[in-house]
């Protein structure tokens, strides 16, 4: 059986995205204590590595997006896997805080080259008219990163130690991800025109409206990213702060993943029946609804279930829309450029959200964190509604 280029790309990139997220962003959740003790650093510094990674990746993303538009993703994503391998091997040999943070900075370079933004651009270039469904499927596969790597990291750490675990992860990038990127992605540059940005794309926004549309989309995605990144890392603490037992809080937080995957499957199966703008507004609306429920009666287990479900569904939809909305609004020719520009504010916000949310929780408690998140979610919703009014014809 011969697989289509789109199927090969989704399968291969799905695997490399699971590895990319699982060996970096998700890794300190399991290995953090061992890193703290071995390197003599504080818990805050352990997770500051993620902030450094997001910050470096955000700064590089606009340029990377433009390059992928011109040349395709094959060489850059392969190079990203090699940088991941080198940075994880360096982290395995780190002896103190400077080396630790330097390795995370290198992982920021690798993430700009080989993580979500270039993979979404690559899928769009390969899938053509079926890009929306292809991106939805890719996010479904990528959603299993925590399911795979949290237990895997625990098992490897218990059996071998954290340094050996990171060396195995470096080898995984070198021996699996790099060849996958090199073999499954197109060897030739994308065939769409890269000039002509002044011409309106079929079904897209008019050239004179693109500045306002880009600003509204950037505001909505960035303010949403603050809530998604900040709350997800603190969801267990928030649930405990609402009065749930440690076991119940862990159970509730674990339901975020199934909620995300479920809505992505729904989007994959039925997304062609409704406009992407309608889906975007619904996804933006779910987030403040869930946070409002948490503020009103989050101490009730049934209500907490609804909070987690709405949060997970909103996050799941936004993960798809981060790639499909720019495609629908601005077209395929400059898709990489727009994706890279949008990744800059989102990456910066994702970098600062965890420490800000932790500080708010510490000083103002669960209610303060929820009110801050609700305010950011409302800004994201208003921006998305204004955007939808400008893009009524977008399918």
Domain residue ranges in the chain: 5-184, 207-390
Sequence-ordered list of residues with C-beta below 8 angstroms from that of 155, at least 6 positions apart, any chain:
none
Please say whether the beta carbons of 326 and 335 come within 8 A: yes
Q: How far apart are CA 11 and CA 8, in angstroms?
A: 5
pLDDT in tens, 200-223: 444 467 777 888 999 999 999 999
Same fold, 5-184 and 207-390: yes
Q: Would you say domain 5-184 falls under CATH 3.40.50.970?
A: no
pLDDT band at 320, cuts 50/70/90?
confident
CA 247 centroid distance within chain: 27
pLDDT at 197 over 50: no
pLDDT in tens, 142-185: 878 877 888 899 999 999 999 999 999 999 999 999 999 999 99
Q: How far apart are CA 225 and CA 116, in angstroms?
A: 14
Sequence-ordered list of residues with C-beta below 8 angstroms from that of 361, at least 6 positions apart, any chain:
234, 237, 238, 241, 368, 369
Query: What is the gyration radius of the CA atoms in the chain, in angstroms?
Result: 20
pLDDT, position 210 = 83
Average pLDDT in the 299-319 region? Answer: 92
CA 159 centroid distance within chain: 30
* 88 conformational bin, left if phi > 0, alpha if psi -120 to 50, beta if neither: alpha
DSSP category for residue 201: P
DSSP category for residue 275: -
Average pLDDT in the 98-123 region? Answer: 94
pLDDT, position 390 = 78
How far is the CA of 70 from the CAs of 192, 199, 237, 286, 325, in angstroms?
9, 18, 45, 37, 21
Q: Which CATH number fits the domain 207-390, given the four candidates 3.30.2290.10, 3.40.50.1970, 1.20.1250.20, 3.30.1600.10?
A: 1.20.1250.20
For the chain, percent of residues with pLDDT exceeding 70: 95
Sequence-ordered list of residues with C-beta below 8 angstroms from that of 208, at least 6 positions apart, any chain:
none
Q: How far apart are CA 28 and CA 5, in angstroms?
A: 35
Q: What are 256's two structure tokens? A: 């975020």
Task: Tell whether pTM > 0.95.
Answer: no
């Amino acid at each position: 059986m011969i697989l289509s280029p789109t199927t090969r790309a989704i399968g291969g990139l799905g695997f490399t995205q699971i590895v990319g997220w699982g060996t970096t962003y998700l890794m300190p959740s399991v290995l953090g204590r061992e890193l703290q003790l071995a390197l003599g650093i504080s818990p805050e510094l352990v997770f500051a590595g993620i902030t450094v990674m997001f910050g470096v990746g955000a700064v590089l993303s606009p340029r990377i997006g433009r390059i992928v538009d011109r040349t395709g993703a094959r060489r850059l994503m392969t190079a990203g896997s090699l940088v991941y391998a080198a940075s994880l091997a360096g982290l395995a040999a780190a002896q103190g805080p400077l080396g630790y943070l330097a390795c995370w900075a290198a992982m920021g370079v690798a993430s700009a080259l080989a993580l979500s933004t270039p993979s979404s651009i690559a899928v769009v270039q390969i899938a053509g008219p079926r890009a929306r469904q292809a991106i939805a499927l890719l996010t479904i596969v990528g959603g299993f990163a925590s399911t795979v790597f949290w237990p895997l990291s625990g098992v490897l750490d218990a059996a071998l130690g954290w340094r050996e675990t990171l060396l195995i992860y470096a080898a995984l990038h070198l021996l699996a991800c790099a060849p996958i990127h090199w073999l499954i992605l197109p060897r030739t540059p994308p065939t769409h025109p890269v000039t002509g940005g002044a011409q309106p794309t079929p079904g897209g926004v008019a050239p004179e409206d693109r500045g306002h549309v880009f600003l509204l989309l950037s505001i909505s995605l960035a303010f949403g990213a603050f809530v998604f990144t900040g709350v997800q890392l603190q969801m267990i603490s928030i649930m405990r702060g609402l009065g749930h037992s440690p076991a119940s809080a862990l159970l509730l937080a674990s339901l975020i993943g199934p909620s995300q995957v479920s809505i992505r499957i729904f989007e994959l199966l039925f997304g062609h029946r409704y406009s992407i703008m309608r889906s975007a507004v619904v996804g933006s609306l779910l987030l403040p609804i869930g946070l409002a429920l948490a503020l009103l009666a989050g101490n009730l287990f049934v209500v907490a279930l609804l909070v987690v479900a709405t949060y997970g569904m909103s996050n799941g939809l936004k993960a798809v829309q981060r790639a499909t909305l720019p495609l629908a609004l601005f077209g395929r020719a400059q898709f990489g450029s727009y994706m890279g520009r949008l990744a800059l504010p989102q990456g910066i916000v994702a970098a600062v959200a965890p420490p800000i949310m932790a500080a708010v929780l510490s000083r103002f408690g669960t209610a303060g964190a929820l009110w801050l998140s609700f305010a950011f979610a409302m800004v994201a919703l208003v921006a998305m509604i204004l955007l939808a009014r400008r893009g009524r014809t977008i399918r």
